Amino acid sequence: MARNNVNLFKTRAFWATTATAVLVAAVGLGAVAGYQRLADAAGAHRGSQAPLSVRFNWPVHATTPVAPDGSRRSWLPLKVQQDLADLALTQLTGSTTDGDALSRTALAMEQTGWFESIETVRRADGNAVEIIGRWRTPVAVVRVDGPLGQVDRLISAKAQLLPIDYPAGTTAMRYLLGAARPGPSQYGQEWEGSDVQAGLKLLAYLYPTPAYGQVAGVDVAQYASARKLAILTDTGARIVWGAAPQDWAPSEPSPDQKLKWLLHLKSGPEFGRRIDAGRPMVDVTSPRGIMIDQSSEGIGAASGFADEQAAGDSRASGPAQTAADRRRAERR
């Protein structure tokens, strides 16, 4: 059975090390009506002078540089921070020691979808209320059809829907295409269906590798019916990957072997140093080797591995094949 490198979500290393700059840029730009309900709920408070203030443990990335005052910049957009603060203040009527008000505030925060849980809502010094929670971190978007065109819906590492939507293609987040089921009806709920989870796991598998920089997204449309995923590259090419890294797929090479082939392409000048070989389609699902589509002009040409030992087990790392090569072999 193919060696399995995952369950990657049992280790938080992958998503915990997502670059802060990417989070700040991707989460903060292009947001549309995804958090409108939060903004509407908070809107009644804006324009009035609040007798109280609220303090949150805003989410930060561990590698973010520390400012002179000891703080780190949060990846959460300032607008979302303000909406959450205003929403909390609408719940904090009466005394800050009012247990009902603090409970209402905790419940309102949990219902926004941004929190795994609210740990504490308590009175603090300076006429403030402190809110401490466990934040959900965005890792990707799911591209779906909306009334005005395609929309990218933000999700967490557990495929939980988060309250920001983007016009398709306006965020730096990797996207999942072709989900079989519509998104959850409430923020914080998990996207139903195994296809979205499988796509996230493939992104998690690729993230720590040099291949990830050329990955734009994952097509999950054939996962529910055929257990097949495809990598979508930043040039619009398609890499047929096959089974998700955690799936049992005895007829396919191991995930590590597939990755070796992609990295071989990326390191080769004759392939344009591209995981897609500069071609519209690459297929890594056959134990006999890579198949490269030569149907249109691109960078480089299909050729044998320069070093089979470096490419992996010789029984499963034959030369790169064109579609015509494979058809001829099948006829024989």
Tens of pLDDT, residues 219-252 = 999 999 999 999 999 999 999 999 999 999 999 9
pLDDT in the model for residue 319: 44
Domain-terminating residue out of 110, 135, 160: 135
Tell me, yes or no, whether 113 and 216 share the same domain. Answer: no
DSSP 263-296: HHHHH-GGGTT-TTTTSSEEE---TT--EE--SS
Same structural domain, 295 and 210: yes
The answer to whether residues 199 and 124 belong to one domain is no
pLDDT value for 99: 81
- In tens, the pLDDT along 295-317 reads 755 444 443 333 333 344 433 34
- Residue 157 placed within a domain: no
Q: Is residue 37 part of a domain?
A: yes
Number of domains the chain is built from: 2
Do 121 and 232 sit in the same domain of this protein? no
User: Is position 180 within any domain?
Assistant: no
Neighbours of 180 (CB within 10 A): 15
Helix, strand, coil share of the chain (percent; to 5): 35, 25, 45
3-state secondary structure of 238: strand
| CA atoms of 197 and 85, how far apart (whole Å) | 32
Return the residue matching tokens 């408070």.
Answer: 45
Cβ–Cβ < 8 Å for 185, 166: no
Q: Are residues 112 and 198 in the same domain?
A: no
The residue segments making up the domain with residue 302 are: 188-331
Residue 205 lies in a domain: yes
Q: 190: which strand partners?
A: 160
Cα dihedral 25, 27, 29, 33, rounded to 10, equals 180
Residue 311: inside a domain: yes
> Whole-angstrom Cα distance, residue 82 to residue 39?
9
Tell me, yes or no, whether 296 and 208 share the same domain: yes
**159 domain-assigned:** no
Is the domain of 126 the same as that of 247? no
Same domain, 108 and 192: no
On whether both 206 and 322 belong to a single domain, the answer is: yes
Instruction: Please report the pLDDT score of residue 221 as a whole number.
Output: 97
Q: Do 121 and 221 sit in the same domain of this protein? A: no
Q: C-alpha angle 92/154/195, rounded to 5°?
A: 130
Residue entry with tokens 């603060």: 85
pTM of the model: 0.76
Strands 291-292 and 281-283, by their bridges, are antiparallel
Q: Could you say which residues of the chain have pLDDT below 70? A: 1-51, 94-97, 296-332
| 165 in any annotated domain | no
Q: Which of 234, 292, 230 is nearest to 261 (CA)?
A: 292
Query: Is 122 in the same domain as 236?
Result: no
